[in-house]
Structure 1
Amino acid sequence: MSSGVLDRSGQPKSMKRAQRWTGEVEDLYRFQQAGYRDELEYRQIKQTEIDRWPDTGFVKKLQRRDNTFYYYNRKRECDDREVHKVKVYAY
């Protein structure tokens, strides 16, 4: 995520659904599975570094809001039939 200019609340201006799989959609899928909007919201709430797979760059592990963890594979986990469920936010 870029550190562009955000409003003070950090709330998104708009949302659209993903149309096709990309690396960004894969990461959003993982954050949303763990109960967060995206990487920005995760960093605001957890204030911790994000573990990523060194070869693919995908998220490796996320802490859910109930403090349990989700562990992800290094390969794609968001199937084509799940792509349309991923929300892509614009700030």
Structure 2
Amino acid sequence: MANSDVKPKSISRAKWSEEIENLYRFQQAGYRDEIEYKQVKQVSMVDRWPETGYVKKLQRRDNTFYYYNKQECDDKEVHKVKIYAY
């Protein structure tokens, strides 16, 4: 299976964790997760905060950028995050 053929098999809702913090950032920028971002943007690495490992900057599909603080996802936003299983 080619890398571009990867599709999620299921989806679930989130409770806050470090993984959810990064998923929130990818989904805010218009992607399911890091896998889809890397496929679409043809990049191998994502710019991250060295202290936390959280995503620091993402390029949206319209080629504008999102820049993230060290902590972004408030408790009230967690319910919006979707977890995709492959």
TM-score after normalising by structure 2? 0.92
| Structure 1 unaligned residues grouped into runs of 5+ | none
Structure with greater proportional helix content: 2
Instruction: Give the distance between the partners of 2:60 and 2:20, measured in 1 at CA.
Output: 19
Question: How many percent of aligned residue pairs carry the same amino acid?
Answer: 69
Q: How many residues align?
A: 85
| Structure 2 unaligned residues grouped into runs of 5+ | none
Matching of residue 12 in structure 1 with residue 8 in structure 2: yes
Q: 1:41 aligns with which of 36, 41, 50?
A: 36
Matched with 1:51 is 47
- Judge conservation of contact 2:21–2:73 (CA < 8 Å) in 1: yes
Q: Which runs of 4 or more aligned residues in structure 1 lie more than 3 Å from their structure 2 counterparts after TM superposition?
A: 5-8
- Report the residue type matching 2:26 in the other structure: F
TM-score after normalising by structure 1? 0.87
Q: How do 1:55-66 residues align onto structure 2 when only pairs under 5 Å count?
A: 55-66=51-62
